[in-house]
Structures are given as structure tokens and as C-alpha cells.
Amino acid sequence: MGRRLVLIVLACLLLAGGTASSQDAKTANKAKALSSIEKRKPDLIALSDRIWAYAETALREHKSAKALSDYAEQEGMKVERGVAGMPTAFIASYGQGSPVIAILGEFDALPGISQKASPVKEPLEEGAPGHGCGHNIFGTASLGAALAIKDLISEGKLKGTIRFYGTPAEESVYGKTYMVRDGLFKDVDVCLAWHPDSKIQADVDSTQALVDFVVEFRGRTAHAALDPWNGRSAVDGVEAFTHGVNMLREHVKPTVRMHYAIVKGGDVPNVVPDYGKVWCWVRDSKRDGVEKVLERLRQIADGAGKIAGVESKFTIQTACYEILVNMAGARLLHQNLMMLGPIKYTEQEQLFAKAIQKAAGTEQKGLEGEVKPLDLPKPNPPGGSTDVGDVSWVVPTLHLSVTTAPEAIWHAWPVVAAGGMSIGHKGLTYAASTLAATMVDLFEDSSARNAIRAEFTEKTRGFVYKPYIPPGPPPLPR
């Protein structure tokens, strides 16, 4: 169903209703929320395209954060900037009292994948960053949904507080983890998030818990031929550590992933290196699994230092939990997806998508605009990691995927290309509409909120949130 048709159907339902029942009021508020998004559509698309062009990486998203927070302020929301010690983190809010409904928005880009809105690989600026995860659309669509709710509160049609969380650095230090640790979600009843994707679905699968750490080795330098017996090679420590990691691989659960990069491994062969550094990520589908492997890795780092006769230092940089899925929330999102129906693409858009898939060497099946059925959660789903996980353990969190790019390669040029043209724009308004309609339910229907909260309470019984991040704000890039 097209957006215009949804509005007409909602209006007819309202007119046919006669006396105003609560169902009619809800329908009317949803129609109003959708028309708010329709009204702001040119602004939202321009905002998303600006952030797409800025393409700023983690904690450097100054222009992107300013564009979003300035627009929120201009449209009447109260904005608090620089929260949780991060200059690019902010909260925009409107209304007062309960319920407090929050929505998350990301806006950081990825390094090195600059791309034009073109169906073949063609950098906008060679080597520059690009929005290969669609976060330009993520942040803008979430803000569009928040503003639609703000309109309803300001007209007295909904009661409570709407809050937009501008969350930086999802692609590196996990900005949300700092915001959770600093208690910024304490009074939130329900939180919503979404992510650009190549499908439309209410998400019921969790993500991977992750710990990001570095191991540094410090030895003693010497001439590699004249007096190597006086040296202690830090790179021997690096090699012993990575060898240990690779031996450990055989003895971990199949759900565990360990990846590393040697970021400092000596300079020249004829100098015994006195410094070496490995950057490592360990993941599992559950935080408990990560903790067990992490303990083994600490011992391996310690052992590697002893083998090489050098000092070893193990430092955790950041971490995130797996997402705690909320099925009651997923069902509510799914109902609203069904109300909106599929995204309709033009023939040109399908041809653009197929050209991307051809250039990327993947199946040329075009764009998926249909709403996928609600799945059952898998016990150990594969996939990536996100700091939405941390939010989901302190406040019930609903998560949605919406098509903004064809299925090809993620975190790469095809996502940047589709995210800067009409395919991305359609995903933007569709995500904003679904989220706004779902939030209308959450504001109006206390039984929907209670079901979500009851499931959350049950699943978090005995749970204590434990951030791994070091004290203070994350280090800012120079």
C-alpha cells in the first residue's frame, strides 16, 4: 500500500467511526503522524543527503550532529548537546511526564568508502569516508519519527515525553555504551531503534556481544646482528600472542569469533623492536561466552610476554552486549509494518539496484520492498555487533530493519550509493512512518507498554549491567 493510500484508508476508518472510540483516536493519531512525516519529507531528505555528503567518522561527526540537533531545535524540541562527555552526543526532547518513549539515531560514516550515488564503484573523493552502513538515513528517519510524535504532544493529542538520542561513534567506540553507563536511559519506558538493511522486518534476532582490546608488548632494542643477545623483541611477544589465539580457536564454541590486526610489528629487520601492539576483537552470541574466552586471552597475553621475555599490557577499549530481543515489541512493530504494506519501487530504481548487484558480483534480484513475516528468534544467530545491545539490557528496546539498499555488500560502496538517492529516501520515510505509528501505540496503549515491560522484567531477572569501558569519556580523535 502506498503512503497516500494508507492516509486515505486511515481517514475513511476515522470518518466511518461515528462516535470517537479510543481505536478511532489511535487511528486518527497515526494518520496525523504519517502526514507530519509527509509534510517534513523534503526537509528530512535534504538533511539525510547533507549528512551523507558530510560522511564524518566516529566522534568527528560535528557537522552531522549539528545538522540533526539544530533541526530538532528549530522544530521545537529542547536539545542538550555534548552528553556523556562526547561533543557529538545529544538528546532532543519534548513534552513532560510519563510515558517516556525514546528513539535512537546514529550518524557516523565509515572510513575509506567514499562513493557517488552511482550504480558502479565510483568514489566521490578517493580515500574519503562514506555512509556504508546508511547511518545518514538512520539518524534522520528516527528524528522524523520523533518530530511526528512531538507534533501530536504539542496539539494535546498524546501525553508524555518523546526523546531522540543522537548517538555517535557506533562504528568505533560504541557511543551508546557511555550514554547507558552515565544513566541517560534511566527513566525511559520503551526505546525504539532501527537499522538500514536490504529487507523490511521487525527484528527478533539478537546480535553478537563483543569486547575490543589491545595487547602491547614492551621489550629492549638492540642491533639485530651485532648484539641481538642484548635485545628482547616486543614483536616476539606479538607473534607468541597471535599463535596462542590461533591455537585457542580449536577449543572455543562455534559461536565464538576472534579477529586481530597487528598494528605495530617493528620498523626494519635490522633493529630488535622494543614495541609491538595487537588489536583484537572477541565475539560470541552471549556476553557470558565472551567473558570466558576473554579470560583465556588474558592468560595468553601474559604467557606471550613471558615467552618473549618482555612486558605485556592488556587494555580493554570498548565492549557491547548482544541485543536483548523483546517479542512483544517485535509483534507491535510487525502490526504497523503490515498496516503500511510494502515499499513500491520504480523500474528505474530496480534497474539501479540490479546494476549495483551486477557490479558487486552478487545475484541480480533487485530490491526487496515486501514486509517479511515475523520470525521466531534463533538461539545463536550469526551477524555483527551493535551498541544498541547495551541499551536493550537497561530499557526494553524494539528493533526494526528497513530496506535502504539492494542486497549486495554491506559496509561498502553499494550501501553508500543507494543511500544517497531515491532508494535511500524511500527507506527513510518508510522507517520514520513505521516508528512513528508504533510510538503512537506505545503512547496510547498502556497494555502494549505493560506487555513489553513485563517481558523485559522477566528476561532481565538477576541481571546486573556491567560496562567494560574505562572510566571517563572515550578518547577523542585528533
Task: Using CB under 5 A, list all residues that contact Zn ion.
Answer: 133
Closest distance of CB 133 from Zn ion, Å: 3
Burial classification of residue 38, based on how many CB atoms lie within 10 Å of its CB (0-12 exposed, 13-18 middle, 19 or more buried): middle
Q: Which residues contact 165 (CB under 8 A, 6 or more apart)?
A: 91, 102, 103, 104, 105, 176, 179, 184, 185
Query: Angle formed by the axes of helices 327-340 and 422-444, to 10°?
Result: 120
Closest distance of CB 170 from Zn ion, Å: 6
Backbone angles phi, psi at 409, to 5 degrees: -125, 130
> Is the Cβ of residue 60 or residue 232 nearer to Zn ion in the bound state?
60
Closest distance of CB 54 from Zn ion, Å: 16
Q: Where are the alpha helices (DSSP H) in 408-445?
A: 413-419, 422-444
Closest distance of CB 135 from Zn ion, Å: 6
> Is the Cβ of residue 133 or residue 148 nearer to Zn ion in the bound state?
133
> Is the Cβ of residue 105 or residue 369 nearer to Zn ion in the bound state?
105
> Is the Cβ of residue 34 or residue 109 nearer to Zn ion in the bound state?
109
Closest distance of CB 334 from Zn ion, Å: 22
How do strand 397-403 and strand 190-197 relate by DSSP bridges? parallel
> Is the Cβ of residue 198 or residue 312 nearer to Zn ion in the bound state?
198
Are 176 and 391 contacting, i.e. CB atoms less than 8 angstroms apart?
Answer: yes
How do strand 311-320 and strand 209-218 relate by DSSP bridges? antiparallel
Closest distance of CB 265 from Zn ion, Å: 30
> Is the Cβ of residue 138 or residue 430 nearer to Zn ion in the bound state?
138
Closest distance of CB 132 from Zn ion, Å: 9
Alpha-carbon distance values, 230 to 219, 227, 265 (Å): 11, 6, 19
How do strand 275-284 and strand 311-320 relate by DSSP bridges? unpaired
Q: Which residue has the cell 560502496?
A: 413
Task: State the SS3 of 112-153.
Answer: CCCCCCCCCCCCCCCCCCECCCCHHHHHHHHHHHHHHHHHHH
> Is the Cβ of residue 88 or residue 93 nearer to Zn ion in the bound state?
88
Long-range pairs for 454-459: beta carbons < 8 A, 24 or more residues apart: 454/328, 455/326, 455/327, 455/328, 455/329, 455/396, 456/324, 456/326, 456/395, 456/396, 459/324, 459/326
CA atoms 273, 274, 279, 284: torsion sign = positive
441 vs 468: CA distance, rounded Å: 35
What residue number has its CB nearest to Zn ion?
Answer: 133
Closest distance of CB 463 from Zn ion, Å: 25
> Is the Cβ of residue 133 or residue 417 nearer to Zn ion in the bound state?
133
Closest distance of CB 72 from Zn ion, Å: 21
> Is the Cβ of residue 137 or residue 153 nearer to Zn ion in the bound state?
137
